[in-house]
Structure 1
Amino acid sequence: GIAHDFNNLLNVISTSTAHLDTLDPSTPLGEQEVQECRQDIAEAAERAAELTARLLTIARRREQHKENRYRAVDISSLCGDVLQLVRRTFDRSVQVRSEIDPGLAVEGDPGALHQLLMNLCINARDAMPEGGTLEVLARLDADPTPSATSPWSPGPQVVLEVRDTGVGMDEKTRARVFEPFFTTKESGAGSGLGLATVYEVATAHGGGVEVDSAIGVGSCFRVRLPSRVSRPVDQKKTKRKRKLTTWDGHGNDRKHGRVLVVDDQELVRRSLGRLVKSSGHEVLFASDGREALEVYASADPKPDVVLLDLDMPHLSGAEALEELKRMDPDSRVVLISGYYDDTRKQRMLALGASDFLAKPVDAKKLRDAIHIALKAPALSF
């Protein structure tokens, strides 16, 4: 969620500034390394400002300037993005199912709508502490039936449903569920803003939220948004190509090794790579767990250390770690993550990780972790 995004952005800033500290004071501002760091810091700051703006939505109600802020949003693709994140971050005791119709579109703020759906999924997960089934459905209701209790805009609607098989709610709780700061969770376990944000975002987009729930059965949250049917969304996506780079071996006589840096966010990957390279190491890059396995298998010589993000699409860091250990029991892996807790760390160490660091990564701790991993004796798991 937002905390994870902020930690990634802070990581870009902290590693970029740490790299700048390693440069000679006489380095011209126009040097490529300096310019790259400056651009990455500026981009991270811009993204952080966007996240802050989203947080402020819950604190103030004001008219949205749709002509400036709203644009066509491909809801079908947005659902796919959220489901990908849910499947790689939620505990496996929660089974995730989906039924998403193609071509669904609305006019709105894509970041806010992403947060709406993510909040509903997190709420569903939290309602199933022992595990269960989470379902996400999206469809077009071309001719919705008017209802006195559903005061949103008439006409075709995109309907999002998030269902769980959790503890459910009684009538009293259901009546207050969208109130800001209202929560049934234990103290410190929730802010009471998740569902309030869902309500704020839905109503700001001319829609609304319905909820059905029963104790011991589960809940269904249904969001209705005015459909954007006249102008279909262009579903073509552009992707920047990743360039595989390696250290040239010049300008540093410190003890070094070959480090494979793996992170699905290009900004994070690039900033970590600069910091690792400035410590005298050769650097290889991979953008997800699957690519990391391919790079590791084909590299000659093999990487001495793998710096691996834990929360990635396609193949999670934990899954990639297990595959690396099967491929090469002597592989040395340092994990990093914006979702850090001692239980998670111990589980990863038990799988064979050399260390587990929290984002934003402290430059000294990262250098030390790589250095210790390089010195560690070969161990088989």
Structure 2
Amino acid sequence: LTLFGEALLIAAFVMLASGSPQANPLIRDAVAQWPLSPWRDTILLLLVVGFGLKMGLVPLHVWMPLAHSVAPVPASAVLSGIVVKAGVIGLLRFLPLGVALPHWGLGLSIAGIVTAYYGIALGLTQTHPKRVLAYSTVSQMGVVATVIGGALVQGDAGAAAIAAFYAANHILLKGALFLAVGIAAASAPGAVMPVLGLAGLLGLSLAGLPFTGGALAKLAIKGPMGEGAAGFLLALSAAGTTVLMAKFVLLLRDSAKGRAAFPLPSQRLMAPWIVLSVLALALPFTLYPLVTGERIASAFALVNVEKTAVPVLLGLALAFALHQRGPALPEVPAGDVLVLAERLGPLLARGLAGIGRLDDVLRRWGVAGALLAGLVIALVSALAIAVRSAP
């Protein structure tokens, strides 16, 4: 999949560069020449699919849960926090966001919303905290894609900074959450509560808990998304993120049960996690005024607190109801679509074998001759009818 995505991007870059009068154009110059290119739509398709694969947009997301299943905790933190954002940076740099493209923007927004809810739904079926976080990343990248799609619809180049701000907030929070998996696994059951408390706060910040950096990120995207259907669906997805993070914390608690570990991990392990957690919770307060042009005090207005608090409270209520329900949801294997395709492999093989047998029959002289004669008769009959119908 990685090679496939890179091949698509190289083709898009070549097409972009070929439309520039310069031999070695800068990215901004090549993108500025995009409206004049005869391959405009092809370039957009290649860019969206290529960078969408890196972001993990559905159905190009299958690599992400599989990679997190086998990657060490630090690698997962880098993979979900930084590597995935290469797709976001690519879309922001190479898409002509200053040009209104309603159809392309609507398509990307729909793909983003589907991805946001798909990641939540599949994440709730997982039984390992790292896979829950992987599907949460899929969901959050869907939110970013929806914001970028909205920018394309309106031709709003300024929304790029807001999408980047949301992605940066996700980098910090998700990196800290992945490190929490390793910290909890190295903690004794009796000492894991402080770890769970901080992990829970980070998870709720990701959902938009008021007075956290995550709430600022949620408020920032409300500007370009407006109060329409897309804005409402993104706001509602925060409730699903809350449920997902509640499940993550419960799985994190269970991972510490039965482990003969020291009370708390050493300072060498704890210090980086705590520093990253503090940055994740505090840095957005510095970036928010720069990105939105609004003062921090405006984010604490009652109306804005309500906007971010309602989805989180709804999510907590849903999480409690699901926990009281009893039996867990049936687990969907990591890589969902790919696993389904593999399971359908024997059925597809039988279908292809049937097509092969049909081809062998059609190659027989008698059958081929009869079909050819029938085709000739049909054509002659059609011609005769056309001649008779002519004035």
Superposition TM-score, scaled by structure 2 size: 0.23
Question: Which one has a larger percent strand, Structure 1 or Structure 2?
Answer: 1
Question: Which one has a larger percent helix, Structure 1 or Structure 2?
Answer: 2
Structure ID, larger Rg: 2
